[in-house]
Amino acid sequence: LTSAAIRRPIDRGYLINPDLQRDIWSHLFTSLLHVTPSSSSLLLTEPLFSLPSIQRSTDELVFEDFGFSSLVVADSPSLVHLYETSCRPCGLVSEAQCSLVVDCGFSFTQAAPVFQNITLNYGVKRIDLGGKALTNYLKELVSYRAINVMDETLLMDDVKEKLCFVSLDVERDLQFARKHGKDNLFRCTYVLPDGVTHTKGYVKDPEAAKRHLALTDGASSSEAIETKNETDQLGVMDKTAERKRVDLTKNEFDLTNERFLVPEMIFQPADLGMNEAGLAECIVRAVNACHPYLHPVLYQSIILTGGSTLFPRFVERLEKDLRPLVPDDYQVNITTQEDPILGVWRGGSLLASSPDYELMRVTKAEYEELGSARCRRRFFR
């Protein structure tokens, strides 16, 4: 294994290292995009509740260091809402112009009500848990039980994305994770790169890694075993002796309950000793902070975005946790995006090509005359 130290200019969504961000943007604008800032306008997404000092640093980067002609700052929930209304012009989100955007990203998770393309800041609820925390937790579990991977962030990101899933019944799945041999539906092997024959890690038996999909919500242990036996008869468990044989020349480790305990952090962080609300409770708090007239509409127009929503059965688990917390006469409808990682970017592309973009722009001349604080008022922050 080779270790690499990663420095990031942004922590938990907020800019903490403007100098490093300047270097990244310089490479991006000159070497990759080949844009001329002095004749270009920049559309920038920024987390909600960003501190004035961070906003000033951002504006200095945009106007003073790079010299962009104009700037528009938007938040991710409003852009996701904009993209969703364009995709489903006859849907509830478009007709009511109201939605609850649940963004489970790299640095944090937040539930943000949006009304008429404006994020209602007083209703936003945030959890300081995201994909980064999940990867770190997976590194700790694997390092404690198998092999030290604390320095292998990129590698464990791949493990998380390929093997982790959301459990619909944690207690039942923990019982299965204790079983041995073929009775364990969750055991799978991940092979580490050796730098010679393969430079990337891979799942040793991809079909065995999908056995957990045979479990259904509410299935008992006996029903799950019957389902597993049916799956075995279909040949999913029928592997050649060559593939089953352990190759001692390869570094590899097994995963069992780690596969669903890692995403469980988003739904039950308190079980891991974290002073954070779960995702379902976070959504309820966000809705309750809004006017009662909006409650039924918000529950019917929940939009999921962000890379952490790609875990298998994420939507089913969220609906299962959310339903008991919502009044019986309210419907719960959760919408997933086609590509939740690019949802914000696509919303931004729609905004940049709309007539409203020209009205929202802050020019360099206005920035130099009025300063950062007064210019920021135009963005409804």
In this model, does residue 331 exceed pLDDT 70? yes
Mean pLDDT, range 153-160, rounded to an integer: 91
In one-letter notation, the amino acid at residue 278 is: G
Mention every residue, 6+ apart, whose C-beta is less than 8 A from residue 10. Answer: 16, 17, 21, 107
Task: Write down the pLDDT at residue 210.
Answer: 83
How deeply is 109 buried, as exposed, middle or buried, from its count of CB atoms within 10 A (0-12, 13-18, 19+)? buried
Q: For residues 22 and 18, what is the distance between their CA atoms, to the nearest angstrom?
A: 6
The pTM of this model reads: 0.85
Mean pLDDT, range 364-368, rounded to an integer: 91
Helix ranges restricted to H, 98-202: 131-145, 153-163, 170-177
Query: Going by CATH, does the domain composed of 131-214+249-272 fall within 3.10.129.10?
Result: no
Give residue 214's pLDDT band: very low, low, confident or very high (50, 70, 90): confident
Share of the chain above pLDDT 70, in %: 89
Q: Domain 10-76+342-379 class?
A: alpha beta
Q: Mean of the per-residue pLDDT values for the chain?
A: 85
Mean pLDDT, range 239-245, rounded to an integer: 44
Give residue 250's pLDDT band: very low, low, confident or very high (50, 70, 90): low
Identify the weakest region by mean pLDDT among 79-93, 106-120, 229-243, 318-332: 229-243
178: tokens are 């204790």
Q: How do residues 272-299 score in pLDDT, each as one tens digit?
A: 778 888 999 999 999 999 999 999 999 9
Which CATH architecture best describes the domain 78-129+274-336?
Answer: 2-Layer Sandwich (3.30)
In this model, does residue 202 exceed pLDDT 50? yes
In this model, does residue 222 exceed pLDDT 60? no
In the chain, which residues fall in CATH 3.90.640.10? 131-214+249-272
In the chain, which residues fall in CATH 3.30.420.40? 10-76+342-379, 78-129+274-336
370: tokens are 């009025």
Mention every residue, 6+ apart, whose C-beta is less than 8 A from residue 172. Answer: 215, 219, 220, 221, 224
Give residue 333's pLDDT band: very low, low, confident or very high (50, 70, 90): very high
